[in-house]
Structure 1
Amino acid sequence: MEVHHHAHDPAAPHHKKNWKSYFWEFLMLFLAVFCGFLAEYQLEHKIEQDRAEEFAVSMLQDLKTDTATIALYIKTGKIYNSSADSLFKLSKSPLEGYNAARFSFYTRFMYWTGPLNWSRATFEQIKSSGSLRYFKNHQLLQKLIQYNAMINANEGEFANRMVRGNMMLNQINQIIDPAFHHDLSGYRLNHLDTMSTETMEVYFSRNLESLETKRTTIQELMNMCIVQQRNIEFNNSERLLPAYKLAKELIEDFKKEYHLE
């Protein structure tokens, strides 16, 4: 059985693509790539926006915690300065009997070195992960950076306060009767704001030895108290209060920018 092969006829008609076909193929390919790019861009933008909102929620909580902590710290600083004023006034009188007990009482609270515990976890995470770029509001970002700088400045002062407080501890221990000191050990400086008059009178009425023989030590303590007091006043007005106001501004900015409550 013979198989017949048909030779290709060069004269036979064949289909040839024109420029329009190439153009449409190119256009379709371009649109496919472009749409893919847009989809990827939108997805990345959505991820960044969601991440920014997550950070904003966390920052808002940190700032609320900070404002409450700062307010308490400013208040406690005022209590310290008021107690120091009481010491200065008492030091001008004979420190015997009732006055000796009152002086010992306020002396106990001159050792105040507690730091202000800032809520920095969220900002440190944002900074270390390079996520500051997620915040597109430039003004809000600048305020956040400024607030962090204020925190750093305050921490430097707290370190100095601790050094001064530890220097005062030697004088405090020489002045206060150990048993009296022990009975007051359960109280903190901020407790003086809520301590009843009756409770204070119990301590003021304690029968303690005269402090007149300790005048040299008392003078050293008074000088250190003056330094501590003035630094607290300066830090409250020039560092803590501005930080408090800026934190309040940031709270409102985050609420407005990310529609938070």
Structure 2
Amino acid sequence: MSLYKEDVYETEDLPEPEHDDNEEYFENKEIEKVHVDLNAAKRRFGNCLLDSGGADFSDSVTSSRLKRGYKANEIFEGSPQDWEIEELTFEQKYKKICSEIKELMAESEKTQPVSKTEIEGLHKFLQSIASPAVSEVQPKTSDDSSKQAEEPKFLTEEDIEKYRSKLVSGASIQEFNEVINAILAEYNRIAKYCSSVTKNRKEYFDYLQKSHQSALNFKDKQIQLLESTVEQLRQDLVKKLRNEHMEIARSSVKGETTKEKNSDVG
């Protein structure tokens, strides 16, 4: 028995399956297209308002899918670009706003509760907005056949007292006029004070400007005088130095001549 004989036998690798790069195609090209007849859809639905909230577009085949569908007359769907965009009527605008409010109410119910009072207040507010009927919001058209005489309205004692409390007495008007006059007087006093301060400031500025200019002129004169004095002193000093130099030269020449004479005599 060979010691180097392998006791495990491996099968050869199976060949890989060939990949088919040919894409699947249909002989009838119309199958891949989705036909939507806009004019037929417009005639079918007209100005209906559709809600796709109940529609199920998944591939599920459960019973829940069969019970669901679309709802009409609730949510307004925008028209495609190929259609002529018509202006919404008042009723359509009102229904659109009501449907948006209902959506907000549904979303507020799904969100996590922050506080019970806030949610209740929001629900009451949304219900108060959505509750009025269309006839109450629409402008009333005048119809001669349906006109009725308005019933006369009589004021109660409470209404009379309410209007009477809103009336202003003569004393209150006088006090109000006095307050207005006092405010106007104070305003005039402040305006005069501001004008006087502005005038004084302008005069002080002119005084400073004049004094500064005079100081500059005086400084220029002093500098010119000092320059002329220094020049005169320099000239005098040079003149004196020359004279002293001449005297020293004369005295030295005179001393040398006297020495020569004395040496000749000796």
Name the TM tier (shorter chain): under 0.3
Q: TM-score, normalised by structure 1?
A: 0.27
Which one has the bigger helix percentage? 1
Higher RCO (C-alpha under 8 Å, 6+ residues apart): 1
Asked which structure has the greater CA Rg, the reply is 2
